[in-house]
Each structure stands twice: as C-alpha cells, then as structure tokens.
Amino acid sequence: MQNQQLSKTLSYVLRHKPEAFGLQLDTQGWIDVTELLRALHAHGHEVTPNQLHEVVATNDKQRFSLSADGAKIRANQGHSVAVDLELTAVVPPELLYHGTATRFLDSIRKDGLRSGSRQHVHLSADAETAVTVGSRHGKPVVLTVQAGRLHRAGGLFYLSANGVWLTEAVPPEYLGVAE
C-alpha cells in the first residue's frame, strides 16, 4: 500500500470509523499497533510495521503519533469519534487563521465556526497553511480568528501534537476575512 493511501486509511480508522475495521480505540484514541496491522490485513491491506512507522514519520501534516514505546498509535486531532487527547488548555496567539471555501462564508458569518461532526474547530498559526486547507474545499478564503480576545472572554484553546490549534467554536464576532 502506498504511503498516501495508507495515510488516508489510517485517518479513516483512527479518526472516524475504527468499528469498520473491527477496532475500538481506548479513551485517549490509542490502538495497539499489532491489533491495527491485523485488522488492516483482514481487510485486504498488506501493511508492514516499517510502512506504518514511515507514514507516521513522514506524513507532511503529522497526523499520527506513536506511543513512546512504539506499541500504540493514534491520530493527533480531527476525530469525529469521542476521544480524550489529554490536551491542556493554553494561551493562544492573538491571531489564528482558518481556511475554508468561499461557498461557506455566508453560513460562517451568521453562525461562526462550529466543529460539526468533529470534536474541535481546527485553526492554523499562519495564513499560508489556512490557504492550503481552504483549497481542499473549493476556492479558498482565509478567516482571521481573534483568538486572544476569545481566550480572554473564556474560550479554551488547545495545541495538538502536530501544531494544529483547536477550539470548540468561534462565534462570528471573533472572525474577519484576511486581506
């Protein structure tokens, strides 16, 4: 299995549908590597431990983490299944960014950013990353998020292991369109 396809399969299993492969994540989102490889094999995906480790190490978005002993794996963020990533709330920078498609702008201006089927809204520390994210959904637009102001008003922010900023929601009054 090629690395890109393996990364997509891992995202599906570790973030959204572990039960589709007969797996159950623990409360922090971890799964035993041997169990995962067995389940992948049972579903026609021949993946070696070395291939799995390579995808974790080389994934450009650093979507996955291995436990310190290498025995378990989990997705760093983006879950639509309930997991506790054991994140600690931290003070965000004054501005963060969110990439989306222009077709979603009217809804976002009305309702703000919501996590939808995922646990958190994903934010970027830089506008360039937000452009890349927004491009995946259509014609991109980058929103500025007044994270510092929202934090001072009681909003909680978390920084995932791969550098993605997470929050539960961003009300419209904390959003602007980047120039």
Residue 36 lies in a domain: yes
Q: 64-83, pLDDT tens digit by residue?
A: 999 999 999 999 888 888 88
Residue 119: is its pLDDT beyond 80? yes
Residue 178: is its pLDDT beyond 80? yes
Looking at the fold, whether 68 and 103 belong to one and the same domain comes out as no
Residue 80 lies in a domain: no
Average pLDDT over residues 155-169: 93
Q: What pLDDT is attached to residue 62? A: 85
Looking at the fold, whether 119 and 166 belong to one and the same domain comes out as yes
Name the band, by pLDDT with cuts 50, 70 and 90, for residue 52. Answer: very high
DSSP β-bridge partners for residue 73? 31, 66
Per DSSP, 44 falls in state: T
Do 62 and 17 contact (CB within 8 A), yes or no? no
Of 116 and 112, the one with more pLDDT: 112
Looking at the fold, whether 70 and 143 belong to one and the same domain comes out as no
Report the SS3 class of residue 18. Answer: helix
CATH number for position 27: 1.10.10.970
Looking at the fold, whether 100 and 163 belong to one and the same domain comes out as yes
Looking at the fold, whether 103 and 63 belong to one and the same domain comes out as no
Contacts of 104 (CB under 8 A, 6+ apart): 137
Looking at the fold, whether 121 and 159 belong to one and the same domain comes out as yes
Residue 91 lies in a domain: no
CATH number for position 120: 3.20.170.30
Q: 16-39, pLDDT tens digit by residue?
A: 999 999 999 999 999 999 999 999
Name the band, by pLDDT with cuts 50, 70 and 90, for residue 171. Answer: very high
Name the band, by pLDDT with cuts 50, 70 and 90, for residue 153. Answer: very high
> Number of folded domains in the chain?
2
Domain hosting 65: range is 3-75
Q: How far is it between the farthest Cα atoms of the chain? A: 50
Residue 86 lies in a domain: no
Average pLDDT over residues 55-70: 89
Residue 155 lies in a domain: yes
Do 61 and 116 contact (CB within 8 A), yes or no? no
Looking at the fold, whether 105 and 66 belong to one and the same domain comes out as no
Residue 176: is its pLDDT beyond 80? yes
Helices vs strands, H then E, count in the chain: 6, 11
Looking at the fold, whether 62 and 103 belong to one and the same domain comes out as no
Residue 97: is its pLDDT beyond 80? yes
